[in-house]
């Protein structure tokens, strides 16, 4: 099946166009937008890891290496579309408009981190694997019934395709032809389990056949193919043609989370064949006359300043309130949970 789903690319590892026709479709604004956002979220990601190591942030899920997949797909969205992220897709949500401050607060255990501006349709990050997939299908169905052209996108890893939610979400979306794109970032591992040990399929894209929807594989480290193919899938959905399954083949450079040690299950040589998405874009910019030393330097300074300012704002907030664990589970707290809360608070008072 793998030969039926070849990995689509627009630029190679050296930043050279593989199809000259795309030179007319790629303009300066798109290049600058991709570079700015990819640089920005990488700076955020590295800062978050440093903050966690310093004890200034809670456990964190890094995404370096997946910037092209996240930024390229997010830039293809319209403002009124829906985003259903996992716990690793903060590059998506920041690009789509969620503030860095709120994203830092989420990883610092504050409930404000799950609250997004009222003009953005972003669900809270899904920590349970694949639960966001049926939600995305449901939101897309609602938009279809309302008669809008809005679409939803559900992000998930390769491990999610082994969950029942994956089947239910794709099956529902296919039957009702809802406007949703299922965007898989296949980064090679479901936590510590390699893809080949958690599924027998040669590709994730081929699973689309079971649901009668288009499926394709793309180079998840090529920001241009991510942008154009995701946009094409959105256009397909907006036209009333139903869902698409996209498998973006990429690589998680670092640990699953900051509580993980990837050296226990990955060798140092693994992942070396994946070109860094940001470095590849920089090569493209130099190859095709988009590179401007002054603009690049100013952009680096701007993104660095944005991150540092967000950290300062995040650290102005008081520590998380432990009562939030109890207060934000049910609209009306059941008696059993109220007893647990009382017992816990009593325990704290004795210390």
pLDDT tens-digit map of 186-242? 999 999 999 999 899 999 999 999 999 999 999 999 999 999 999 999 999 999 999
Is 217 a residue of the active site? no
Q: Is 90 a catalytic residue?
A: no
Q: What is the CATH classification number for the domain harbouring 197?
A: 3.40.50.970
User: What is the pLDDT, as a whole number, of residue 111?
Assistant: 86
- What is the C-alpha to C-alpha distance for residues 251 and 65, in angstroms, rounded to an integer? 6
Q: Are 73 and 47 in contact (CB under 8 A)?
A: no
Write down the mean pLDDT value for the chain: 95
Residue 13: C-alpha distances to residues 25, 32, 45, 63 (Å): 20, 19, 23, 20
> Which one of the listed residues 236, 256, 280, 290 is annotated catalytic?
256
* Mean pLDDT in residue range 301-312: 98
Average pLDDT score over residue span 310-327: 91
- pLDDT value for 285: 98
Tokens of 103: 């994203």
Domain that holds residue 325: 321-351
Percent with pLDDT over 70 in the chain: 99
- C-beta separation of 66 from 185 below 8 A: yes
pLDDT of residue 287: 97
Residues 178 and 214 grouped into a single domain: yes
Catalytic residue among 167, 238, 265, 266, which?
Answer: 265
The confidence score (pLDDT) of residue 351 equals: 44
Q: Residues 351, 248: one domain?
A: no
pTM recorded for the entire structure? 0.95
The mean pLDDT of 25-43, rounded to a whole number, is 98
From 40, 90, 236, 252, active-site residue = 252
Same domain (yes/no): 98, 135: yes
- Whether residues 15 and 83 share a domain: the answer is yes
Q: Are residues 36 and 164 in the same domain?
A: yes
Specify whether 256 is catalytic.
Answer: yes
Q: Which residues contact 190 (CB under 8 A, 6 or more apart)?
A: 157, 158, 159, 160, 162, 198
Q: How many domains does the chain have?
A: 2
Dihedral sign computed on CA atoms, order 93, 98, 102, 104 = positive
| Together in a domain, 270 and 155 | yes
Same domain (yes/no): 257, 325: no
- The answer to whether residues 127 and 62 belong to one domain is yes
Model pLDDT, residue 321? 84
Q: Can you give the pLDDT at residue 348?
A: 79
Give the DSSP letter of residue 11: B
pLDDT band at 116 (very low <50, low <70, confident <90, very high): confident
- Compute the distance between CA of residue 276 and CA of residue 65 in angstroms, rounded to an integer: 6
């Amino acid at each position: 099946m793998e030969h039926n789903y070849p990995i689509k690319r627009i630029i190679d590892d050296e930043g050279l166009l593989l199809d000259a026709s795309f030179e007319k479709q790629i303009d300066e604004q798109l290049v600058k937008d991709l570079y700015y956002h990819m640089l920005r979220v990488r700076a955020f990601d590295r800062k978050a890891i440093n903050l966690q190591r310093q004890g200034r942030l809670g456990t964190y899920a890094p995404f370096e290496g997946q910037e092209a997949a996240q930024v390229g797909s997010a830039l293809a969205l319209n403002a009124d579309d829906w985003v259903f992220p996992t716990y690793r897709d903060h590059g998506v949500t920041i690009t789509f408009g969620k503030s860095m401050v709120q994203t830092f607060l989420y990883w610092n255990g504050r409930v404000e981190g799950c609250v997004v501006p009222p003009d953005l349709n972003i669900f809270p990050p899904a920590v349970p694997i694949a639960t966001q997939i049926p939600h995305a299908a449901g939101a897309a169905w609602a938009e279809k019934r309302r008669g809008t052209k809005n679409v939803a996108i559900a992000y998930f890893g390769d491990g999610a395709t082994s969950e029942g939610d994956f089947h239910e979400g794709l099956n529902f979306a296919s039957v009702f032809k809802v406007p949703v794109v299922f965007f898989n970032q296949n980064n090679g591992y479901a936590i510590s389990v390699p893809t080949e040990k958690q599924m027998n399929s040669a590709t994730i894209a081929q699973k689309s056949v079971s649901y009668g929807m288009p499926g394709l594989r793309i180079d998840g480290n090529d920001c241009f193919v991510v942008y154009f193919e995701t946009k094409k899938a959105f256009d397909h959905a907006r036209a009333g043609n139903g869902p698409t399954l996209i498998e973006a083949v990429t690589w998680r450079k670092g640990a699953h989370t900051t509580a993980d040690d990837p050296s226990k299950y990955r060798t140092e040589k693994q992942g070396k064949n994946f070109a860094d998405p940001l470095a590849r874009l920089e090569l493209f910019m130099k190859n095709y006359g988009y590179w401007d030393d002054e603009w690049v330097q100013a952009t680096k300074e701007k993104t660095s300043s944005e991150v540092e300012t967000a950290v300062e704002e995040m650290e102005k907030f008081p520590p998380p309130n432990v009562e939030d664990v109890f207060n934000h589970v049910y609209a009306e707290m059941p008696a059993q949970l109220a007893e647990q809360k009382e017992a816990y608070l009593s325990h704290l008072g004795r210390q």
